[in-house]
Chains A and B, each alone.
Chain A
Amino acid sequence: AQSVTQLDSHVSVSEGTPVLLRCNYSSSYSPSLFWYVQHPNKGLQLLLKYTSAATLVKGINGFEAEFKKSETSFHLTKPSAHMSDAAEYFCVVSFSGGYNKLIFGAGTRLAVHP
């Protein structure tokens, strides 16, 4: 069965320090992977996506993620956190062999402190 697990429900960092949000997936098929960000009471905005090209994917606002097939992971990173990065982040998986839907992780809430 396909699934996605975000390993941390909450992450707290200081402004200017690195960010790491962890995501693992389980799939029998070749996945496509996405990271979305959601600010309070807003819709989801795409940060970046992996679709079987380069394993290191760069997104908006300085975020990047690395697809590691051997570890079935797609962790999101940023070298230096900004106050505006405080939001909810969702790891999302879709499958080439699956029917037409996405699998969402439960989300990670990122807090950034001055």
Chain B
Amino acid sequence: DGGITQSPKYLFRKEGQNVTLSCEQNLNHDAMYWYRQDPGQGLRLIYYSQIVNDFQKGDIAEGYSVSREKKESFPLTVTSAQKNPTAFYLCASRRPGQRVSGNTIYFGEGSWLTVV
């Protein structure tokens, strides 16, 4: 079955450490997204990528980095510069060839990141 796979489900980060969250999709989607979700808040966009080798900052990109070397993969690195990284992270993707307006975005199951 096609879908979006995020790993790991749970991750613990020590102070000053960089960690990377994996996102893989086999839906042949061009556009991919990373969102952060905090309790009681809606999702906030960290980064998005519309095609391979291209990505754009979202609303809260500081302290994060991404790469898009393959169509299927869009990993997110949470760097030590992100001072409050504890959150639920969601990866998403969208069908090719159309703008987001009117087009469904599909989400992965999410990854919990906790600072210890």
Binding site for B on A (CB under 8 A): 9, 31-32, 34, 36, 41-46, 49, 51-52, 90, 94-96, 98, 100-102, 104-107
Contacts and interface: CB of A to CB of B under 8 A. Distances in A.
Contact of B40 (A36, A90, A94, A106): A106
Interface stretch (B63-71, B72-80, B97-105): B97-105
A17 B16 CA distance: 50
A96 B112 CA distance: 32
A95 B101 contact: yes
Given A90-B42, A100-B50, A107-B42, A43 B90 contact: yes
B41 A43 contact: no
Closest 5 CB pairs of A and B: A104-B42, A51-B102, A43-B107, A32-B102, A44-B107
Nearest to A32: B102
23 contacts: A32-B103, A41-B110, A41-B112, A43-B108, A44-B43, A46-B104, A51-B101, A90-B43, A94-B101, A94-B102, A95-B101, A98-B101, A100-B48, A100-B50, A100-B99, A101-B45, A102-B45, A102-B100, A104-B35, A104-B42, A106-B40, A107-B40, A107-B41
Residue from B40, B56, B90, B100 whose CB has the most chain A CB atoms within 10 Å: B100
